[in-house]
Amino acid sequence: MISFLSHLVNGISLGSVYAIIALGYSMVYGIAKMLNFAHGDVIMVGAYITFCATQYWGLPPVVSVLAAMLVCTVLGVVIERLAYKPLRAATSLAVLITAIGMSYFLQNAAQLIWGANPKSFPSVITLPTLSLMGGQLLISGETMVTVLANVIIMIVLTIFTSKTKMGRAMRAVSEDKGAAELMGINVNATISLTFAIGSALAAVAGVLLCSAYPALMPTTGSMPGIKAFTAAVFGGIGSIPGALVGGLLLGVIEILGKAYISMELGDAFVFAVLIIVLLVKPTGLLGKKVHEKV
């Protein structure tokens, strides 16, 4: 029982990271109608920046994370401007391939700068471990911060999209780009803003991920990126609560699967979930039905 609870806690922690990454996929998909497969690698860049800031430049953890968020925000906007914006009118396949190319570019650039050897990422979280049930159930500081960060991000984003003018503009653009433009909404600026938010969140996810799993290398972001994409599809791509639900469920499924069924097949469960969801409910758990105009 205790071990189940402990796995559950780990699953929620991992799921929270997936949820934060999934938000980036989901928001960008909602607005630009494209899958930004370079998103996972922005996570890796965020983690490297934090690593450099704490290890080489001696910055305090909070400042390091903020620096990583800033760098990733700029990176996200630049990627969009240079790689995706020129393809706004191109087929979705062209954009998809460009995104995959961008993903490899970031991985190789990181390898060039930081080398291929894994770096041991020092946890930036200094919270003590919480001991429950007489020391049988341990909840690490990393877990608590991750879950808390996830909750705060979800609340802030929900308020942002529903109650501010930029949030409303984002929703309008995601529904009908042309009509939004004719009402005076600057579509390019709105898309840039979405990439900026998604990339800043990716930096946070990178720090949280590497604090829990401290081996940092150029490919660190790709697997969590793909899994978070699965989570976004699972929950319903384009939906903020969908990213939360999908991320949490996927994290729990992965950890429980690894713990009780097979360690080696853990990742396979994640993708089995994706296949089942696509077969049974292609729009995802909370996804909206796409209605064709007649």
Q: Which residues bind other proteins (CB under 8 A)?
A: 156, 159-160, 163-169, 171-172, 175-176, 178-187, 193, 288, 293
Give the span between the Cα atoms of 270 and 253, in whole angstroms. 7
* Cβ–Cβ under 8 Å, residues 229 and 22: yes
Question: Residue 152 or residue 272: which is nearer to other proteins going by CB?
Answer: 152
Cβ proximity to other proteins, 77 vs 187, nearer residue: 187
Q: Least distance in Å: CB of 167 to other proteins?
A: 8
Query: Which C-beta is closer to other proteins: that of 86 or that of 115?
Result: 86
Name which of 57 and 176 has its Cβ closer to other proteins.
176
> Which of 185, 147, 136, 145 minimizes the C-alpha distance to 165?
185
DSSP readout, the chain?
-HHHHHHHHHHHHHHHHHHHHHHHHHHHHHHH----TTHHHHHHHHHHHHHHHHHTS---HHHHHHHHHHHHHHHHHHHIIIIIGGGTTS-HHHHHHHHHHHHHHHHHHHHHHH-SS-EEPPP---PPPEEETTTTEEE-HHHHHHHHHHHHHHHHHHHHHHHSHHHHHHHHHHH-HHHHHHTT--HHHHHHHHHHHHHHHHHHHHHHHHHHS-EE-TTTTHHHHHHHHHHHHHH-TT-HHHHHHHHHHHHHHHHHHHHHT-STTHHHHHHHHHHHHHHH-TT-TTPPPPPPP-
Nearer to other proteins, 193 or 210 (CB): 193
The distance of closest approach from Cβ of residue 169 to other proteins in the complex, given in angstroms and rounded to an integer, is 6
CB of 32 to other proteins, least distance (A): 17
Q: Output 35 or 185, the one with its CB closest to other proteins.
A: 185
Write the Ramachandran bin of 220: left for phi over 0, alpha for psi from -120 to 50, otherwise beta: alpha
CB 285 within 8 A of CB 235: yes
Pairwise CA distance, residues 149 & 168, whole Å: 24
